[in-house]
Amino acid sequence: MQNSPLQTRPAYALTSVDNTLRLLQLLRDTGRLRLKDAAEELGIAPSTAHRLMAMLVYRGFAVQDEDRRYQPGPALGVGPVTSSRNRQLRSLCAPQMEALCADTGETVNLSVRVGTKSRFLFTVESSNVLRVGDRRGAVLPAHRTSGGKVLLAELDDDAVRRLFTSPGAETSGDALDEAGLEDLLRELAQIRQQGFAANIDATESGVSALGVALRSADGRAVASLSLSAPTFRYERLSARSVRAVLFDRRRQIEEELADLDTDD
């Protein structure tokens, strides 16, 4: 995407506002940005770039990942992959998500991780009277959602520590203290072993979920698939038979993802 044609600089231009807008353009066009590179591009001190970027994180226009690089945040309307890729992913997953909803009678969500956040791309809502509603567009702490946790489990412990102790995590309200980090690391170790993650009332009282990672042909986790239900149905949701259905639909999506990667 190209920047708009160069216009005459206004006589009343505010340098800080101009630099902030240029940062937004850099995030939009590069997708991933180091603070040092941003400072050099704008010709400002790293400390100034940090203050401007902190405001973008605060307002949701940027997020910081486990390598302390910045990515476009949910307020920019993009995730860690290109918009066209997100659309492809939604289109590919939708039929199997609809089938999974019909199989289980529960709401199905597709989400991606952006730094410390989990962003919901698509929802197939259950027809039950008592159900979890549409989460499309919602942005929640990744370490509290089932889909976010299975994607965090793809990182090693050092990367998780960097992610949740970064200035970006502090600005977004997701920073964890040592005790919180140890609890999260233990949970992620269990998730790696069992192959799925659970969320019981962690994001919203009375709502629970199970999530699994969706992998591309090279084994890389690109998104997560989750089943959400009222907590009073959690025992049924977590039953081995329901997990088997979730795993099977995940397998079918991954086969189609492999074909998509081959086409690319």
pLDDT digits (tens, 9 = 90+) for 158-170: 999 999 998 878 8
Least confident window among 58-62, 101-105, 230-234: 58-62
Q: In whole angstroms, what is the distance from residue 248 CA to residue 231 CA?
A: 23
Give the tens place of pLDDT for each residue, 126-173.
999 999 988 887 889 999 999 999 999 999 999 999 999 988 788 778
Separation CA 147–CA 198 (nearest Å): 8
- Kindly provide the residue ranges of all beta strands, DSSP E only, lying in the chain, ordered along the sequence: 62-64, 70-72, 107-114, 117-124, 139-141, 197-200, 207-215, 221-230
223 vs 120: CA distance, rounded Å: 10
Structure tokens given for 94 = 């939708």
At residue 233 the predicted structure's pLDDT band, cuts being 50, 70 and 90, is: very high
Taking residues 53-65, what's their average pLDDT?
Answer: 85
Question: Which of 81-95, 198-212, 232-246 has the weakest average pLDDT?
Answer: 81-95
Q: What's the whole-number mean pLDDT along residues 49-64?
A: 87
CA–CA distance, 52 with 7 (Å, rounded to integer): 23
- Model confidence over 104-125: pLDDT tens digits? 999 999 999 988 989 898 999 9
